[in-house]
Amino acid sequence: MAYPQPRGRKVKILATLGPASNDGETIGALIKAGADAFRVNMSHGDHDFHAATIETIRAQEKKAGRSIAILADLQGPKLRVGTFDGGKAFIKHGAHFTFDRKDEPGTDERVTLPHPELFNLLEKGQRLLVDDGKIQLRVIRASEDEILCSAEVGGPISDRKGVNVPDALIPVPALTDKDRRDLSFAMDRGCDWIGLSFVQRAEDVAECRRLMGGKGALCAKIEKPAALKNLDQIIELADGIMVARGDLGVELLPEEVPPIQKRIVEFTRRQGKPVIVATQMLESMIESPAPTRAEVSDVATAVYDGADAVMLSAETAVGQWPTEAVGIMDRIAKQVERDPGYADRVHFTETLPDATTADALSHACATIADTVVLAGIVVFTGSGSTARRVARERPSVPMLVLTPRTEVARRIALLWGAHAVHTRDIGSFEEMIAKGKRMALRHGFGEAGAKLITLAGVPFGTPGSTNLLHVVTLSGDELQGYRD
């Protein structure tokens, strides 16, 4: 029997599924090309459509023999304008334009804004950005019924285009009624991660976590400037963070996004949570079989910064070259991680261990790997917390994570450097050593003479009890026995 081997890279690839990629053959090809996880965008399609997609992913996961994570991305409270007479209009540069509450088709001078919470919120001088910032308006005055603006950048506008309000904290919950229904569906279908869109406050994360009822893991998407003011609290409450550069890039100046990206990655890594860099990483590959040099550098920068995962959006959802996009991202990551300077760069972010036995042992794993020639680190975990602690240290060798829980193995598919395998639990020290060696051999983590670290907790099966580190050597007899 052939067992899945490590990817040969530590950063993970999250690919968005859509019309170009949600059939079984393409999903299987994406896994083979290097996808470790799939994003299901709840903004498009109904529950029957998503249920079929999830079922297809699980079928391909079983065929590949590799744990695959599914991230259900909630739509969130997207603000949109109403409709126009004829479906479109044109806002002249420098002209006045009004948002109002009238139940009438829009014109070149006005349109309905079906979000009453904005009318008493906005103040003179604040900005309204329409259609991903293509149209930029400045508030002249606002009342309960009208928001009069001046068009600093005009242009064509059509029905239900999105509106961003970068200069105000919008008093709307992060979860709409649709999101609540989608969240319940995703939990029932066994999705491993939930992407919470347009997070502004720690309370948004707490509410979503309450509704999840202890199932799955929560990824807070940072795409609102307001979230940056509460970043520490949001990271603390979430299980992971996504740097969602789409809306974030609309509401901030372009030159502000790169340092903020680095700051979010750094803060999240310090708290030992997975961090994903997303949006427009290989955008040109929607239509082109090859990326631009700038896009390659963008992916490489995220890898050098130590992000746990990099994400493809439209490239794999609707693009003409979905498998090629994953393959190129895989090649970029492997090339970066082979760079002799990679280890120094990925450790620019200092991740000091907490004053716990588990953190001290996880830190020791990375130190031993820098001192002794190791083939890998074998981690036994029931909850995944030990694997996250080890990954936070960004050790120089790959990590084989053995867990008795399928859902934990899948969740870890987004964790830096981890190759997760679902296996039966262990009951003794001797069983731990034997199983660690056997699984390492099966999954390509060493040959005769190779050294491994095994990390676990005693008593076995007790969550949060990591207190045991042991270095083992694979012998020729063990290797011969395995081959037989």
Q: Active-site positions?
A: 39, 80, 221, 279
Which pair of structure tokens corresponds to residue 116? 């009453």
Q: Which two tokens stand for residue 172?
A: 């709307």
Contact residues for 284 (Cβ-Cβ < 8 A; gap 6+): 290, 291, 292, 295
313 backbone dihedrals φ, ψ, rounded to 5°: -110, -100
Token reading at 241: 């963070």
CA atoms lying within 13 Å on the CB side of residue 304: 15
**3-state SS, residue 70:** strand
Spatial distance between the Cα atoms of 26 and 225, rounded to a whole number of angstroms: 36
Select from 180, 7, 147 the least CA-distant residue to 81: 147
How far is the C-alpha of 431 from the C-alpha of 273, rounded, in Å?
30
Query: Which residues partner with 243 through β-bridges?
Result: 222, 277
CA angle 82/83/87 to nearest 5° reads 155
Q: What's the CA gap between 82 and 80, in Å, rounded?
A: 7
Nearest to 432 by CA among 458, 406, 408: 458
Is 31:437 a contact under the CB 8 Å cutoff?
Answer: no
**Distance between terminal CA atoms of the chain?**
12
Name 49's Cβ contacts closer than 8 Å, sequence gap at least 6.
Answer: none
Alpha-helical regions (H) of 271-353: 293-304, 314-317, 322-338, 342-346
Contact 344, 390 (CB under 8 A): no
**CB-based burial, 297-323: b 16+ in 10 Å, e otherwise:** ebbbbbbbbbbbbbbbbbbbbebebbb
Work out whether the CA dihedral 190, 408, 405, 423 comes out positive or negative: positive
Q: Are strands 69-73 and 37-41 parallel, antiparallel or unpaired?
A: parallel
Three-class DSSP category at 357: helix
Collect all residues with Cβ–Cβ distance below 8 Å to 119 and sequence separation of at least 6: 101, 113, 142, 143, 144, 145, 146, 147
Q: Which helix (H) or strand (E) holds 128?
A: strand 127-130
